[in-house]
Amino acid sequence: MRGYSAWNYTPYRPLLIEVGDIYICRLVPSAHSICIEWLDAGVPEYHVYIRLRGAEAFALVGTTLKCAFEVQNLTTDMDYEFFVQSGEAKSRVRLARTGACVGSVINYVHPEDMVYDFSGHYFGSPSMIRCPQGHLLASMDLFASNTPQNLTLIFRSDDDGATWQYVTELMPSFWTKLFVHKGEVYALSCHTEYGDLQIGRSTDGGRNFSAPVTLLRGANGKKGSSGVHKNPQNILYHNGRLYTTLEWGAWANKDYCHAAMVMSCDENADLMVPENWHFTPPVKFDHFAPELCDRPKCTMTIEGTLVLAPDGRLLNIMRFGKYGYALVYEVNTADPDAPLTYSHIMPFMANYAKFMIQYDEMTRRYITIGCRVYDREYVSDRNYLVLMTSTDLQHWEDTLVLYNLRDQDRHKVGMQYVDFSFEGEDLIYMSRTAMNGAHSFHDSNYMTFHRIPDFRKLLTKG
């Protein structure tokens, strides 16, 4: 065994853990089938075996020369166990539940499948970009309570999101944000929850990443310790700098929970040099104004999104624990080391889950896709996904209901943490999706891709 200097693995194989000779890299269950994909093991043919979960014997259902097979004619809403074998080479036994899903499935993981137990059991942190080479790239991490939370999976689509293929894995990497800068792909993440903030680069469209560099030291968020909280939010360019948000703290920190920050870098500087990055000092939430005095000082202030206001100010708009409002800080663009200053609270009925706001030049509207709060008793629900628009960052309207899943079990179904972008006349987005036997609405078992064709026409109807 030799040392390894890169960041990505294809796949990552933890030492002293049996991962199988054949690596199943992607699953797509549907109502009556399961599509299984695996990495080439250099053998002439593969045999696929499956059984109902807990049944006595596996049945051979197909032989193929390819590295993919779709098992058909299955019963919907059932758990199946399966593996791939060729001679003595065999994959781990994997698990999937059949059921109809929304959008185009990028990847699936059963909540009781232990294949990623060294990181987590559920999908989080959807991030998606269009690479200069033309393909789409999507990433997701694996999380669960009391797990290391340190693995990111990367997939690509060469047909605009209709189908997806496995690319590679980043280890360690959590809360990963993919972005393109000067023709190269970057990944900004923490090495684990509340760990070190790091950045890595790919020069071949996301297939290979060199070793990341550390930008800011963190901790682990355990027993009240604080570290970096970084979600995959938008990268915003303004006046020759690129900006994004982060926080310092932890849910276990009962003093202030999370303190708001913004990081930035000259757009012509080398992003891989830590000294080129500037960080605003963490700002703890406080009773800056009378409208905040009803909130405890340890309240939810996380996952800020950056946007230029109509008056030209750069604002950090944050998920906030006050019913119907987002918290807004202003960024001092004249001094990248200056602390954020409180601006106001913004009426906003999608404030209890992560959201991203982007400005569309063509319609002159601010756009977000969020988990719309529809009942004060159920503010944590994530089963009502709505495209919302504003002309002034003050008044928001429900412009288009994308998915109304309120007739399903609110504890088990959710679409959340949407990453979206404008593509010509269309809007494309990626969702962390929970359904068909997910552990909970929060603990997602799917990553799904969606497209809204000619979305601007829908915004201007009437």
pLDDT tens profile 138-164: 999 999 999 999 999 999 999 999 999
pLDDT digits 0-9 by tens, 87-117? 999 999 999 999 999 999 999 999 999 999 9
**Inter-residue contact 408 to 437 (CB < 8 Å):** no
Q: Which residues contact 54 (CB under 8 A, 6 or more apart)?
A: none
Q: 461: burial class by Cβ within 10 Å (0-12, 13-18, 19+)?
A: exposed
Q: Which residues contact 238 (CB under 8 A, 6 or more apart)?
A: 308, 314, 333
Measure the CA–CA gap between 253 and 264, rounded to whole angstroms. 26
SS3 214: strand
What sign does the CA torsion over 203, 204, 205, 207 have? Answer: negative
Beta pairing partners, 163: none
Instruction: Show the tokens assigned to 149.
Output: 């939370």
Res 1: pLDDT: 82
Residue 220: band (very low, low, confident or very high) from pLDDT cuts 50, 70, 90: confident
Would you list the DSSP string of 399-410?
EEEEEE-TTS-T
> Amino acid identity, residue 65?
L
Which uninterrupted H or E stretch holds 178? strand 174-181
C-alpha gyration radius of the chain: 22
The predicted model gives 264-284 an average pLDDT of 98
pLDDT digits 0-9 by tens, 1-51? 888 989 999 999 999 888 899 999 999 999 999 999 999 999 999 999 999
Res 221: pLDDT: 75
Quick one: DSSP state of residue 91? B
Output the average pLDDT for the chain: 96
**Inter-residue contact 386 to 401 (CB < 8 Å):** yes
pLDDT digits 0-9 by tens, 399-448? 999 999 999 999 999 999 999 999 999 999 999 999 999 999 999 999 99
pTM higher than 0.75 for the full model?
yes
Core vs surface per residue 112-142: b (16+ CB within 10 A) or e: ebebbebbbbbbbbbbbbebeeebbbbbbbb
| Phi, psi values for residue 237, rounded to 5° | -100, 135
- The CATH number of 8-97 is 2.60.40.10
Measure the CA–CA gap between 372 and 357, rounded to whole angstroms. 14
Note the Cα 343 to chain centre separation in Å.
28
The predicted model gives 321-336 an average pLDDT of 98
Residue closest to 353 by CA, chosen among 424, 300, 289? 300
Task: Count CB-CB contacts under 10 A for residue 93.
Answer: 17
Question: How would you classify residue 125: left for phi > 0, otherwise alpha for psi between -120 and 50, otherwise beta?
Answer: left
SS3 53: coil
Contacts by 181-189 with C-beta closer than 8 Å and gap 24+? 181/235, 181/242, 181/267, 181/271, 183/132, 185/129, 185/131, 185/137, 186/271, 187/7, 187/139, 187/152, 187/212, 188/230, 188/244, 189/152, 189/230
Place of tokens 């972005």: 179
% the chain with pLDDT above 70: 99
Per domain, the residue ranges of the chain are 8-97, 354-462
pLDDT at 387 over 90: yes
pLDDT at 458 over 70: yes
| Phi, psi values for residue 457, rounded to 5° | -65, -35
pLDDT at 395 over 50: yes
**Inter-residue contact 27 to 109 (CB < 8 Å):** yes
**Inter-residue contact 308 to 359 (CB < 8 Å):** yes
Q: 82: burial class by Cβ within 10 Å (0-12, 13-18, 19+)?
A: buried
pLDDT digits 0-9 by tens, 174-190? 999 999 999 999 999 99
Of 369 and 18, which is predicted with more confidence? 369
pLDDT at 254 over 50: yes
**Inter-residue contact 69 to 46 (CB < 8 Å):** yes
Res 260: pLDDT: 98
Res 222: pLDDT: 78
The predicted model gives 371-379 an average pLDDT of 95
Res 461: pLDDT: 58
pLDDT at 462 over 60: no
Measure the CA–CA gap between 38 and 30, rounded to whole angstroms. 18
No. of H helices and E strands in the chain?
A: 1, 34
